[in-house]
Amino acid sequence: MRIYLQAPAGDERPPRFYQLFLQEDLLGGWSLMRKWGYQGGSVTVKMEHHECREDADDALMRYRDAQLKRGYRVVFAEGEGAPQ
- Counting the structural domains of the chain, the total is 1
Q: Is 83 a domain residue?
A: no
| Banded pLDDT at 11 (limits 50, 70, 90) | confident
Read off the CATH number of the domain in which 65 is found. Answer: 2.20.140
Q: Minimal CA–CA distance to 63: which of 43, 81, 46?
A: 46
- Three-state secondary structure readout of the chain: CEEEEEECCCCCCCCEEEEEEEEECCCCCEEEEEEEEECCCCEEEEEEEECCHHHHHHHHHHHHHHHHHCCCEEEEEECCCCCC
Q: Is 57 a domain residue?
A: yes
* CA dist., res. 67 & res. 56, Å (int): 17
Average pLDDT over residues 1-20: 90
pLDDT in tens, 34-65: 999 999 899 999 999 999 999 999 999 999 99
Q: Which domain holds residue 11?
A: 2-78
pLDDT at residue 2, rounded to an integer? 95
Q: Is 13 a domain residue?
A: yes
